[in-house]
């Protein structure tokens, strides 16, 4: 087999961090090669170098055996390297075809007008060739996240990508979409494409890849064949210690009602009914999980409970206080923590330092400020403490949030929201983008909240997580709770049926 990509002795130094340390990495033609490693290990950095977004401090890159200086993504694309980022860069009101040809339009003979018909035909052809099942005429705003991702893949193929880099593509997909992506990637390799995949989900690593390179703190630990390893060994290789992939839950009696939601109605951003007459309760010492396929109202529900979205009718009570029409700030005041789904939009101010981000929402309180004056020594002390406690990989608390790795950004939010020890914690996709070691840690902390008689509302697309942590599981489908299961009666299969809108005969209490 020949190597389409060879990265030799790649080093990348950021202020205070060696993100890649003499990394050797090669990609064979037609393989799916996973890059695996802890949060902050240097995976995204290495791929940003290959795609020309960063220049290495030292080291060489060979593309099809030829030494290449990849000065920018334009060069990368010319060399046949395409990258699908985690945050999609699509224009919402444009059609799929328009997005794909954007910046690369076939011009009508003699004129500057775009030949849309040729564009649509070309896009359709590539879609058919690789089994992507994309309709070029639909607008981006009307398609699911999974479909948007396919559009990004198509866009790279349209530009002639032979090598495709995917950075955590499955973090936002449903289990079914993940299977479909697996099939698509296999198809692509059959047609001779080569793929580099970054993912933290060991199940996918095992089912999708041919080879795996494990990186720890910027250094390659090992490159191995997938058929020669298993999930447990990979977890250990990556973190450097044994990791428990399942959590311990003790028997526990739930206490008084902390969150009570009655007949809640909420609209989405397009003014359509997103939450339709939903009622449920979360008690002290209990974790209630909301399970469901993405886009069934979870986002609107969480925003409504946190005062970020208007409640049309119904009632929300938290610790006996009617918060239905409260502002976010006042909801925080009564001891509600919120881990938002979109960490870059809702969770962090990307241009603030870590220390500042860690007191967001509490910055006007003692000890962080007094009589309107910030107490910076305290703010820094607090930042340092949380960085150590939550094992956030960063040179210091003075670093801007935007320069942290994705998983470490997530850990900053988690640290801040746990720190206030909330009566009620609303955790939306709390472990998205985290490595196995960090997931283990966050799960332990969520169970501790329960142990300490706090209430937790967990919103998660990960059925393993839901089944491992929750006392009760409410399934949401098209804006309604279609059933609430006791965790001990729940199985992945039962939940799957309910999440798809199907009915179970027994064991389901309609809400």
Ligand X SMILES: Nc1ncnc2c1ncn2[C@@H]1O[C@H](COP(=O)(O)OP(=O)(O)OP(=O)(O)O)[C@@H](O)[C@H]1O
Instruction: Return residues touching Mg ion (CB under 5 A).
Output: 44, 405-406
Nearer to Mg ion, 278 or 404 (CB): 404
Residue of 145, 164, 154 whose CA lies nearest to 99: 154
Contact 147, 90 (CB under 8 A): no
Nearer to ligand X, 17 or 266 (CB): 17
Q: Among ligand X, Mg ion, none, what does residue 393 contact (CB within 5–8 Å per kind)?
A: ligand X
Burial 337-370 (b: 16+ CB within 10 A, else e): bbbbbebeebbbeeeebbbbbbbeebeeeeebbe
Find the shortest distance in angstroms from Cβ 430 to ligand X: 15
The count of other CB atoms within 10 Å of the CB of residue 140 is 18
Q: Among ligand X, Mg ion, none, what does residue 385 contact (CB within 5–8 Å per kind)?
A: none
Find the shortest distance in angstroms from Cβ 20 to ligand X: 8
CA 372 from chain centre, in angstroms, equals: 37
Nearer to ligand X, 45 or 170 (CB): 45
Q: Among ligand X, Mg ion, none, what does residue 19 contact (CB within 5–8 Å per kind)?
A: ligand X
Q: Among ligand X, Mg ion, none, what does residue 357 contact (CB within 5–8 Å per kind)?
A: none
Q: What residue number has its CB nearest to Mg ion?
A: 44
Find the shortest distance in angstroms from Cβ 347 to ligand X: 14
Q: Where along the sequence are the contacts to ligand X (CB under 6 A)? A: 14, 17, 19, 37, 39-45, 393-394, 403-408
Q: Among ligand X, Mg ion, none, what does residue 404 contact (CB within 5–8 Å per kind)?
A: ligand X
Find the shortest distance in angstroms from Cβ 26 to Mg ion: 20
**From residue 457, how far is each of 206, 337, 506, 510 by CA, in Å?**
31, 10, 25, 19
How open is the CA angle 5-405-208, to the nearest 5 degrees? Answer: 50
ω into 285 cis (within 30 of 0): no
In DSSP terms, 243 is beta-bridged to: none
DSSP letters of 2-67? -EEEEEEEEEEEETTEEEEEEEEEEEETT-EEEEEE-TTSSHHHHHHHHTTSS--SEEEEEETTEE
Nearer to ligand X, 162 or 204 (CB): 204
Q: What residue number has its CB nearest to ligand X?
A: 407
Q: Among Mg ion, ligand X, none, what does residue 306 contact (CB within 5–8 Å per kind)?
A: none
Q: Among Mg ion, ligand X, none, what does residue 17 contact (CB within 5–8 Å per kind)?
A: ligand X
Nearer to ligand X, 14 or 362 (CB): 14
Find the shortest distance in angstroms from Cβ 229 to ligand X: 20
Q: Among Mg ion, ligand X, none, what does residue 14 contact (CB within 5–8 Å per kind)?
A: ligand X
Six-digit token pair at 298? 């979870």
Find the shortest distance in angstroms from Cβ 405 to ligand X: 3
Find the shortest distance in angstroms from Cβ 393 to ligand X: 5
Residue with tokens 């929750």: 470
Contact 93, 62 (CB under 8 A): no
Nearer to ligand X, 211 or 252 (CB): 211
Find the shortest distance in angstroms from Cβ 50 to ligand X: 12
């Amino acid at each position: 087999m020949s190597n389409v990509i060879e990265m030799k002795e790649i080093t990348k130094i950021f202020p205070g961090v060696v993100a890649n340390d003499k990394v050797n990495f090669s990609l064979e033609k037609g393989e799916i090669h996973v890059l695996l490693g802890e949060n902050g290990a240097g995976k995204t950095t290495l791929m940003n170098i290959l795609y020309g977004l960063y220049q290495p401090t030292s080291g060489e890159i060979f593309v099809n055996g030829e030494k290449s200086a990849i000065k920018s993504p334009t060069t990368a694309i010319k060399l046949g390297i395409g990258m699908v980022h985690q945050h999609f860069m699509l224009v919402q009101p444009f059609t799929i075809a328009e997005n794909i040809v954007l910046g690369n339009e076939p011009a009508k003979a003699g004129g500057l007008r775009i030949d849309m018909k040729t564009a649509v035909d070309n896009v359709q052809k590539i879609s058919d060739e690789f089994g992507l099942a994309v309709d070029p005429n639909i607008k981006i705003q009307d398609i699911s996240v999974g479909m948007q991702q396919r559009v990004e893949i198509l866009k790279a193929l349209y530009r002639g990508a032979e090598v495709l880099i995917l950075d955590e593509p499955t973090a936002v997909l449903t289990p079914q979409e993940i299977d479909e992506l697996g099939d698509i990637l296999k198809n692509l390799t059959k047609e001779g494409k080569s793929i580099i995949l970054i993912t933290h989900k060991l199940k996918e690593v095992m089912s999708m890849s041919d080879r795996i390179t494990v990186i720890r703190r910027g250094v390659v630990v090992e490159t191995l064949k997938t058929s020669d390893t298993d999930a447990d060994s990979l977890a250990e290789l990556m973190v450097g210690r044994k990791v428990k992939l399942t959590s311990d839950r003790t028997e526990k009696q739930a206490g008084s009602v902390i969150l009570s939601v009655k007949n809640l109605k909420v609209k989405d951003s397009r003014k359509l009914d997103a939450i339709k007459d939903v009622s449920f309760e979360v008690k002290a010492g209990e974790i209630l999980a909301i399970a469901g396929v993405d886009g069934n109202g979870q986002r609107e529900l969480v925003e409504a409970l946190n005062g970020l979205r208007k409640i049309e009718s119904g009632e929300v009570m938290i610790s006996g206080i009617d918060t239905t029409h409260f502002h976010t700030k006042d909801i925080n005041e009564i001891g509600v923590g919120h881990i938002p789904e979109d960490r870059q939009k809702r969770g962090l101010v990307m241009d603030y330092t870590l220390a500042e981000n860690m007191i967001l929402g509490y910055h006007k309180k003692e000890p962080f400020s007094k009589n309107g004056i910030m107490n910076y020594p305290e703010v820094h002390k607090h930042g340092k403490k949380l960085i150590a406690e939550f094992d956030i990989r960063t040179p210091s608390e003075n670093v801007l949030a935007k320069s942290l790795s994705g998983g470490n950004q997530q850990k900053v939010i988690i640290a801040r929201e746990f720190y206030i020890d909330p009566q009620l914690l609303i955790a939306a996709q709390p472990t998205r983008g985290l490595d196995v070691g960090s997931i283990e840690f966050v799960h332990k902390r969520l169970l501790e909240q329960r142990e300490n008689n706090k209430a937790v509302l967990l919103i998660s697309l990960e059925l393993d997580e839901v089944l491992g942590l929750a006392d009760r599981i409410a399934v949401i489908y098209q804006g309604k709770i279609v059933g609430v299961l006791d965790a001990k009666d729940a199985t992945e299969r039962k939940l799957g049926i309910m999440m798809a809108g199907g009915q179970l005969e027994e064991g389901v209490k309609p809400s």
